[in-house]
Structure 1
Amino acid sequence: MTNKACDRTRRHLLKGLAATSLLGPLGLSQALAVTNKRLYIDGLSFLPNNLTDIRASKLDAYLCDISAIETIEQTDGTINYKRTFDACMASIKKANNIVNANPSILMPGGNGQDIAQAVEQARTAVYFQIQGADCIEADSDGNSWSHLDQFHQQGLRVLQLTHHYGNRFAGGALDNDGHKSLNKPLMGLGHKLIAALNQRNMLIDVSHSSPQTALDTVKASTSPIIQSHGAARSIVNNARCSPDEVIRAIGDSGGVFGVFMMSFWLTNNPVPTIEDYIKQLSKVAHIGGVDCAAIANDYPLRGQENLLALSNNNAEGIKEYLLWWHSLAAKNVLGFDHEPTHAVIPELNTIDRMSRIDDALAKARYKSTDRDRFLGKNWQRVLKKVLV
């Protein structure tokens, strides 16, 4: 049975069971096993404007970025985006309203056990995430974490330390001294933030962090850490991609590394293909272990919208990135001297990407148990471990 046929069978069965209320949770679990539907979890996307996208994505759960930003011009003229407390608090409350108003489709992800419940009820669990700890306005001594507590009460379960550039907690991937990318460590206040996140059983995300910050975070944390979305620097030598030692450390922590869909950080080939994506997954699994590699999107569920409007014409779509790319090249940030020619892998810039990755992994002769890990069970494991 194909993945699409399995999914249709699963949905049909669940709707029938829900309508007749013939089976309890155990019966539902057994019924799901019969349909052979693989667990699909995505490491990063967003709440769509059209909630029919949730069903179409086939996702059982995903990390849902609810960040709200202010545009900040750096002293060197480049642009960064700061997540502020007020903006992110308004955003997470809005997201909660959407989730709570649509209980037949969505459910709030509070702990790792919620994924099993979402599967049984044919819903999608969303685990709220913010990309950057700038929104946590702790005092300089790290003794008060009232903002972190307020976010946690609103359902925040994953916090990314930085976004591109460093802050008072951690070093960023694109920090620069005009000659080369800096490798800033986790700051003193960052160590206190890690302890506060561990105490609250929140998942720590080192996406966009400097390599040294990521390594320091692994050492500082008593729980597994993740990189929700990234790629391997050994394939694309760019500051936004992670060195082998970071991927290995994340795997050793029991954490997960999600490979995202931004093709200019996946391959230097002029025409990106789904095989390039599988090569990245394979690299992460080889370095960090098969329990480390996972899927991430970092675009809306449907895909990169401007590229979709251009029928995935990368030659046109890449133009929206070039001004930003050239500004970083001018600062000599690692890898930005190589001008990209694409932004998406056309086969994956679709709402049906999970099934396509599943099929591509099968074509690459990955056994079913490894496909289970990559497509969902690795994410499920770390969420169950940390979010208790």
Structure 2
Amino acid sequence: MPDDVLACSRRSILGALAAAPLAGCVPSRSPRSPLPAPGFVDGLSFLPKTLSDIAAAGLNAMICDVSEVAEVRDPDGTPRYRRTFEANDAALDAGAARLRDSDVAFVAQRGSDIGHRPGCAAFLQFQSCEPVGDDLARLARFHDKGLRVLQFTHHNDTAFAGGAIEPVQTGLTRLGVAGLDEMNRLRILPDVSHGSVATMIEAARLSRTPVVYSHGACRAILDHPRCIPDEAIRAIADRGGVIGIFMMSFWLTRDAVPRVEHLLAHVRHVIKVGGIEAVGIANDFPMGGQENLLKLNNDNREGVKEYLEWWRAMHALGIPGFAWTPEHVVIPELNTLDRMARIERALEAGGFRRREIEQAMGGNFARVLTDVLG
């Protein structure tokens, strides 16, 4: 058996075994089990102001961040972002209520909802464990309200785990290990985006289900702590997880002009390191595109200015990766509502086979959501 096929088979077996303790009488779906072609699945998006945009984007499913973020300032003026329990408990209710009144999307409970109910399956997410605090009972509360994906941290350390953008790097805390166990029990998909390398690897190895790095880029291409290194790609892929490549161009390339080819380079790198089953596509901007850049007709030189205060503050704190100044925010051709269709065409033009395109554009995320959520 060729080495690449053997590696894929090993990942499939490990993924199935990881999910098995949670399955009970419900058979676990192996990462290589066939699924109907799920169409486009966005690894990280947001509810648009006009929900009809979801249908216009062609999404069959999305991991949908509904968290409410507040900007706070350290005594030295450094900007940071916080998610409180009160604000996010209400935000979860509000997001679910919007979807209940929609005819284009719905709150998804299980991965198998994709393609088996009309409209886009929205898997609600918080991009941080901050709303949980140190009260693990809140995980069940949020799950009852529809939360299905939870990120350990957003850049900075939380009570659960170490963040990527910290001078001292740490991994899962004791509370984080207990929280991961409870997430596994409840069938909440763990998301290690924005985590430290230790957080990514420890979560992948300790979780009884696959985990995802729902949105980000590859550190081997752009060396920055927000990007995922190869050892973490392997740890996630070996357990049947998925790495989503996102649209934030200053973490895709340091070239002066960002192009679709830069995005494809990250897709190819994940496949090289983790296999075709490990890669997906994510957004991380509003569904219609980064709004300020749209107003500026995608003038990256002007639009990047809104990020520079934070960027320079991180450099002043001595965080690695911030010594250079980014020149852009978006790939202009992809800063649009129909980005998924454009990426699909780019994969076709790049020589990907039809089955590989289906996996990257949605099949892999659909599979891991089904493995973990049923």
Tell me the TM-score normalized by structure 2: 0.89
Find the counterpart in structure 1 of residue 4 from structure 2: none
Contact 1:136 1:147 in 2 (8 A): yes
Relative contact order, CA 8 A, sep 6+: which one is greater?
2
Contact 2:133 2:159 in 1 (8 A): no
Deviation digits for residues 236-276 of structure 1 (CA, Å, limit 9, x no counterpart): 11111111111111111100010010000001111000010
The runs of 5 or more residues in structure 1 that have no matched partner are 1-35, 140-144, 177-181
1:356 aligns with 2:347: no
The correspondence for 1:328, drawn from 311, 314, 317, is 314
What is the CA-CA distance between 1:149 and the residue it aligns to? Answer: 1.1
Find the counterpart in structure 2 of residue 128 from structure 1: 124
Find the counterpart in structure 2 of residue 237 from structure 1: 223
Matched residue SS, 1:336: coil
Q: How many residues align?
A: 339
What is the CA-CA distance between 1:71 and the residue it aligns to? Answer: 2.2
Find the counterpart in structure 2 of residue 170 from structure 1: 161
Residue identity matched to 1:201: R
Residue identity matched to 2:43: G
Residue identity matched to 1:291: E
Matches within 5 A, 1:203-352: 203-352=189-338
Find the counterpart in structure 2 of residue 61 from structure 1: 61
Matched residue SS, 1:372: helix
CA 293–90 in structure 1, closer or farther in 2 if over 3 Å, else same: same
Residue identity matched to 2:346: A
CA distance in 2, matches of 1:167, 1:50: 33
Find the counterpart in structure 2 of residue 106 from structure 1: 105
The runs of 5 or more residues in structure 2 that have no matched partner are 1-35
Residue identity matched to 2:72: I
Contact 2:38 2:363 in 1 (8 A): no
What is the CA-CA distance between 1:76 and the residue it aligns to? Answer: 4.6
CA 271–336 in structure 1, closer or farther in 2 if over 3 Å, else same: same
Residue identity matched to 1:125: A
What is the CA-CA distance between 1:83 and the residue it aligns to? Answer: 1.1
Tell me the TM-score normalized by structure 1: 0.85
Residue identity matched to 2:131: C
CA 174–366 in structure 1, closer or farther in 2 if over 3 Å, else same: same
CA distance in 1, matches of 2:314, 2:55: 38
CA distance in 1, matches of 2:75, 2:125: 28
Residue identity matched to 1:91: A
Find the counterpart in structure 2 of residue 16 from structure 1: none
What is the CA-CA distance between 1:322 and the residue it aligns to? Answer: 0.7
Structure with the greater alpha carbon radius of gyration: 1
What is the CA-CA distance between 1:137 and the residue it aligns to? Answer: 2.7
Percent of pairs with identical residues: 42
Matched residue SS, 1:170: coil
What is the CA-CA distance between 1:203 and the residue it aligns to? Answer: 0.1
The root-mean-square deviation of aligned C-alpha atoms, in Å, is 1.3
What is the CA-CA distance between 1:183 and the residue it aligns to? Answer: 2.3
Matched residue SS, 2:212: strand
Matched residue SS, 1:241: coil
